[in-house]
Amino acid sequence: MNPYHLDPVPNAVNVLRGESFSAANAAKTECPEGHPYSQENTYVHPTTGGRLCLTCKRMTDRASQARHRAAQRAGRNAR
């Protein structure tokens, strides 16, 4: 073993240099829908470090609210 070939880095850096699922996900620059993981468009969970695309989250929330409102209207019309 040649000590000059070693690079003393923190464990997190070492993991991200590998080929693990964590490294593959960290290397992604876009969400599955193609929206960029930019600072303005990404929520990073404070404890897990997981990323969430805010554009996709907004679209999901709007669709959920629309379904909820439709269900409420249907319930009122059934009476």
Tens digits of residue pLDDT in 3-59: 898 999 999 899 999 999 989 988 999 999 999 999 999 999 999 888 999 999 999
List Cβ<8 Å contacts ≥24 apart for 39-45: none
* pLDDT level of residue 76 (50, 70, 90 thresholds): confident
pLDDT for residue 32: 94
- In whole angstroms, give the CA distance from residue 10 to residue 35: 30
List Cβ<8 Å contacts ≥24 apart for 30-37: 31/55, 31/56
* pLDDT level of residue 79 (50, 70, 90 thresholds): low
Q: Tokens 């997981």 belong to which residue?
A: 50
| 78 pLDDT higher than 70 | no
Rg (CA), the chain: 21
